Structure 1
Amino acid sequence: MNRTLPAALYTATQVRELDRRAIENHGVPGYSLMTCAGQAAFDRLRERWPEARRIGVLCGPGNNGGDGYVIARLARAAGLGCWVLEAGDPARLKGDAARARADWVQAGGTPFSGAAPWPEADVLVDALLGTGLDRAVEGALGGLIDAINASGLPVLAVDIPSGLHADTGAVLGRAVRAAVTVSLIGLKTGLFTGEGPACCGEVVFDPLDVPEAVYRDLPPAATRLDAACIQRLGLRARSAHKGHFGHVLVVGGDRGMPGAVRLAGEAAARSGAGLVSVATHPDHAPLLPLARPELMVHGVATPADLSPLLARATVLAVGPGLGQGDWGRALLGRLLETGLPLVLDADALNLLAQEGARRDDWVLTPHPGEAARLLGRDTASVQADRLAAAREIQARYGGVCVLKGAGTVIRDAEGTAICTGGNPGMASGGMGDVLTGIIAGLLAQGLSTVLAARLGVCAHAEAADRAARAGERGLLASDLLTELRGVVNP
């Protein structure tokens, strides 16, 4: 079983294709795969809960249930107390799942069916529904999921928590909240974005000894990113000077919103930009250097005031605190006329949704609400399929789309990546401003828009994870700035 998760992420259809290839093209018996799946899940259960003596297994009417019967048989063979609740008519089981049930019964297993209360258990195994689910869970199966979640017991999910959409990470009516999910053959995209991280708990992976050739010529649906990718930043030349690392111009901070541009500017500097200037409203321009003297702050009242600043800048970060009034709208119009690469966030995105434009040299960083405005629809539909929403934004507006949230999705013209770092403490004001600055700072150092977006998202998440060691609740965006320097110097 792999402790280091692979980078490749697949859709449910792709994983079924991998399964088919293993069986039909490489002669791996389907029942052998099912037996290996049950063994992998049982081994992880014993490792995670070594003191458990009573196991409850909930088996559904398909192959996921077949994996559950294998687990139950192994538990009995290990001398553990084990009961199996069968959801649906076992007579409708087919193929390998039917064989797994028969082997379990032959080993002395006795099934039962019915609602809670169930016999006592130390751990529950969710083997109800697999990756083929595409509609809301209702009726008896929905009741079983509710009972699992209400039990207060730790849950191990086989392949995917029941009720979670394998491709999108959306909850289909209701979903099991597992402590551990053992993903098999191929990691599914939905485990890592949307509600996936909340439902899956710890994700572990087992390829079930499927031959490497099975994976050839099947490009994954997405790439999984974590803090390890930041290693690509490498070391600086000993002869380097500030002119080698670009000049970021952060534009925003209308009246009453100076903090946003300060966060973005400092994040750009902490990410390694050689120089950082801030163009903000004249009312509070004199105050920002008092907090961070390294920032060169300029009050701009009109678009014309930007001209000397644009002559020196190499990258623009636009939107933090910009507002949607006449001041912000006029500045954004001037900035879009330049040929400089841009990172757009916050009200720059809201204005873009109203005006429309397309460029290949920008990074758009919407949260789900801003993404919904860019697409002219509601936030719920964005969250229902985050990968599709990011893909549509990129297709419509160009460049790179960074759809923020649990399992941030980074979409460019060539493909999709999902960042698996970060934590719930990041649900606080100013986090997006810091991300904008980080990506702009990396762009200024010569990274492509794709690489700056991917590494910037991961650096942002890793800084937040380090800062959250003191606790997630109460985490501030500025707490990331103290961690960021260590993150970008791997």
Structure 2
Amino acid sequence: MQPTKLPIYQAQQIREFEQLAEERFNISSHVLMQRAGRAAFDFLIRRWPHAQKIAVFCGGGNNGGDGYVLAYHARQRGLQVTIWQVGHHDRLKEEAKYALNACREAHILMNSFNEKADLEHPDVIVDALCGTGAHDLLREEMVSAIRRMQRMAAPILAIDVPSGIDADTGKVLGAAVHATATVTFIGLKLGLLTGQGIAYVGELINNDLQLPAELFLDIKPVAEKIQLNAYQSYLKPRARDWHKGLSGHVLVVGGTSGFSGAPRMAAEAALRVGAGLVSVATRPEYAVAMNVDRPELMCHGVTKREELEPLLEKADVIVLGPGLGQSDWSKQLWAAVCEKKLSLVVDADGLNLLATMPQQYEHWVLTPHPGEAARLLASTVQAVQDDRLAATRLISQRYGGTCVLKGAGSLITAPNSLPALCDRGNPGMASAGMGDILSGVIGGLIAQGVPLADAARMGVCLHAMAGDLAAKDGERGMIATDLMPYLRRLSNYTGQG
């Protein structure tokens, strides 16, 4: 069975593993390079068993050395191999130089890459240009090689990291390889699982290079990749004498002109994951329509904060913000909710109002997309996306509670716990209302007694998996309410996947 939580590292931590492997187990960098190149080659022939012509692009560092090892094994297998050298190779480290010399002795064809090089049409291209060491904008010769690789219309296997992707953040360093598959080594890298990087990786395989298991006890990961079965204990069957009062009461506050659908979707999502009671506080003109469409909801028209007070008294958790707006009415309701000090899930305009009236609170889950995160941090979307983990940490520190940074490779950061990452989900979920559904899911879980941080992690997994099930009918054209039947199915989860 696949582990429910997998450690995620940054590049410096991988280098520490390599150093510890040599110091404690006498596993040299030469041995690790040989294992890496062989592991990448073994994957290549499994993934493309009919490939005969291989083009290997090698940079001037250890990632290039991995490429030389792969090229050597490909030649030994009888494949036609061409190596294209990019950058300076006169300062290679000893282990990479050894691999290069082995290729020369095997009479593998080597060429220095330039824009006018006559590249044939290989069956598979191997990217061994940069690896984990790239954190600044790539040199022009690297950019040129990457662009040429992309024009060759062959599948690309990236060794360790697609060249041009920052292994720590997923940021594109001017240009990057769109890999068909990536074989990464020792441990998963954060930049392969979130931000822009996730779009360049393709199929991702991790190979631990046969390092002893006890070695991984010495370095704390930067985050962990989570799956829904890590939280299966919260989804156990209910006792036969269960009643709705045991499943909690969610209050959704929001819904201004043009956005009445947002609280409606959040409210139904809370019901679909098992909340016992769900109320909605919205503008009076929308309350009746919500009841017609979903009569299980208790919808209340609210014109001022005094009318909200009785609803707050009955709630176990409040979802604040879907379609709320930023009018005087919105601000009144926002202030009344925040003063009550209940468990909160804050989304959409709830976050935008928080950015203008900042405060700290321990018992809330903040669920920004990158634009809302930028406003909370008085920053820019680009800065948030350039280091998503740093953004979640800073939001959690500045405002308290748990932060869910939505997007490809959603990140969840809570005080005194390891950040979590969910790499499920798909581009079809980039449509209106998906965030409202997520806020309702998290609120519904909190109402059932799931601790806030776990509700955030579990809710992100539920939401993403429901999106993946809905996408089986196609990503394009998928809408937020398509997730509803799958939320119900997954909330009765048995532990697979």
TM-score w.r.t. the length of structure 2 is 0.96
Q: Is the 8 A contact 2:5 2:227 kept in 1?
A: no
Distance (Å, rounded) in 2 between the aligned partners of 1:142 and 1:173: 8
- Match in the other structure for 1:161: 162
Distance (Å, rounded) in 2 between the aligned partners of 1:412 and 1:287: 37
- Match in the other structure for 1:402: 404
Q: Is the 8 A contact 1:229 1:458 kept in 2?
A: no
- Match in the other structure for 2:49: 50
SS at match of 1:83: strand
SS at match of 1:422: coil
Deviation of residue 92 (structure 1)?
1.6
Pairing 1:124-273 to 2, within 5 Å after superposition: 124-235=125-236, 236-273=238-275
Q: Is 1:442 aligned with 2:445?
A: yes
Q: Which amino acid aligns with 1:483?
A: Y
- Match in the other structure for 1:79: 78
Deviation of residue 107 (structure 1)?
1.7
Distance (Å, rounded) in 2 between the aligned partners of 1:228 and 1:395: 28
Deviation of residue 50 (structure 1)?
1.2
Distance (Å, rounded) in 1 between the aligned partners of 2:332 and 2:275: 27
Q: Which amino acid aligns with 1:35?
A: Q
- Match in the other structure for 1:324: 326
Distance (Å, rounded) in 1 between the aligned partners of 2:373 and 2:88: 44
Distance (Å, rounded) in 1 between the aligned partners of 2:240 and 2:22: 55
Distance (Å, rounded) in 1 between the aligned partners of 2:485 and 2:191: 32
Aligned residues: 489
CA deviations over 1:281-335 (Å, ceiling 9, x no partner) = 0011111011111111000000001111111110000100000111111100000
Q: Which amino acid aligns with 2:226?
A: L
Q: Is the 8 A contact 1:59 1:84 kept in 2?
A: yes
Deviation of residue 246 (structure 1)?
0.5
Distance (Å, rounded) in 2 between the aligned partners of 1:45 and 1:395: 44
Match of 1:477 among 470, 477, 480: 480
Identical amino acids, percent of aligned pairs: 49
Q: Is the 8 A contact 2:4 2:230 kept in 1?
A: no
Stretches (4+) displaced over 4 A: 2-6
Match of 2:459 among 456, 462, 465: 456
Q: Is 1:309 aligned with 2:311?
A: yes
Q: Which amino acid aligns with 1:133?
A: A
Superposition CA RMSD, Å: 1.3
Pairing 1:86-97 to 2, within 5 Å after superposition: 86-97=85-96
Q: Is the 8 A contact 1:230 1:488 kept in 2?
A: no
Pairing 1:264-413 to 2, within 5 Å after superposition: 264-413=266-415
SS at match of 1:90: coil
Deviation of residue 256 (structure 1)?
2.4
Q: Which amino acid aligns with 1:484?
A: L
User: Gaps (5+ residues) in structure 1?
Assistant: none
Q: Is 1:428 aligned with 2:431?
A: yes
Q: Is the 8 A contact 2:4 2:228 kept in 1?
A: no
Distance (Å, rounded) in 1 between the aligned partners of 2:197 and 2:240: 44
Q: Is the 8 A contact 1:271 1:441 kept in 2?
A: yes
User: Gaps (5+ residues) in structure 2?
Assistant: none
Distance (Å, rounded) in 1 between the aligned partners of 2:219 and 2:170: 22
Deviation of residue 6 (structure 1)?
6.3
Deviation of residue 230 (structure 1)?
4.5
Distance (Å, rounded) in 1 between the aligned partners of 2:246 and 2:444: 12
Distance (Å, rounded) in 2 between the aligned partners of 1:111 and 1:233: 58
CA deviations over 1:382-431 (Å, ceiling 9, x no partner) = 11100001110000000000000100010111231111100000110000
Distance (Å, rounded) in 1 between the aligned partners of 2:68 and 2:294: 62
